[in-house]
Chains A and B, each alone.
Chain A
Amino acid sequence: MTARSETQLRPGLWETVNARYPGSMISNDDVVTLAPLARPVSQCRLTFVSSAGVQPRGTLPFDVVHPVGDYTFRRVPSQARPDDLEIHQLKYPTDGALRDLNVIFPITRLQELVADGVVGSLAPSFYSFIGYNMDPQLLERTLAEDIADAVVADAAEIALLAPA
């Protein structure tokens, strides 16, 4: 474990998780410097990236039974209503999110922030995947890179990232 990881994690978490899932805790010393905003948030286009397994109804469900994970993502139209969306994920409690999707995927709140002028606009798509993935290198090489490319193509200036 690196010194940086030590400072980023809750004390004892590394040992606890490794005892339960040996080999699951990895460190990555690559650092990508955060890009400074070129203009106020109220003028920026925002996208949202989530590991909550949220997807438009009728799209191929995330592969939640696969023993090493699903490395695909779904585009979620940023103007969608919560009723247009569903969750496919086994590994976190979804009771609250099924009552109000915004607790895990705050799409309505973000739409409201745009309407109130707090955020400039929303990118056409948000992005969602499932966090149960056992190959961190594949996750980084494919899923993360693909989502990053899509976010750039959407000309998003702010990416709000939210783990489930």
Chain B
Amino acid sequence: MSLPYLKDAVAAGDRDTLLRYVRLHLGDGDEDVGRREIDKAWVQALVPLLDLPQVDRAFVLDTLATKDHATLAHLFFSLHFHLVRQSGEWIHDGTL
């Protein structure tokens, strides 16, 4: 999708188009794959926390408090790809 198309969707409040784009991006052009990839990332995020390991909450809180919204949004996308790669089921043809 071209950026103007996405910005039109934002202006129109067309959330479905934006979500479809995210799924296409994460699924390398396949929306259903994108859905599964999102699910995969959430499982990868959940499992390491089940045993209540100690985590660096100071780092997390400081990052959330001090970084701008765009950087945090980019971090969100970065974490998605990082987690799905860690899962061992890497669907993408290339490398991060």
Contacts and interface: CB of A to CB of B under 8 A. Distances in A.
A and B from one complex: yes
Interface of A: 20-24, 26, 53, 61, 64-68, 86-95, 134-136, 138
A66 B93 contact: no
29 contacts: A21-B24, A21-B29, A22-B17, A23-B2, A24-B1, A64-B94, A65-B80, A65-B81, A65-B96, A66-B74, A67-B21, A67-B77, A68-B3, A86-B95, A88-B95, A88-B96, A90-B81, A90-B92, A90-B94, A90-B95, A90-B96, A92-B93, A92-B94, A94-B95, A134-B1, A135-B2, A135-B3, A135-B4, A138-B3
- Best-buried of A21, A26, A136 by chain B (most CB within 10 Å): A21
B22 to A, nearest CB: 7
B28 interface: yes
Nearest to B74: A66
Looking at chain A's contact residues, the main secondary structure is: loop
A89 B95 contact: yes
Nearest to B80: A65
A134 B93 contact: no
- Best-buried of A53, A67, A86 by chain B (most CB within 10 Å): A67
Nearest to A130: B94
Given A21-B24, A21-B29, A90-B28, A64 B2 contact: no
Given A21-B24, A90-B92, A91-B94, A134 B78 contact: no
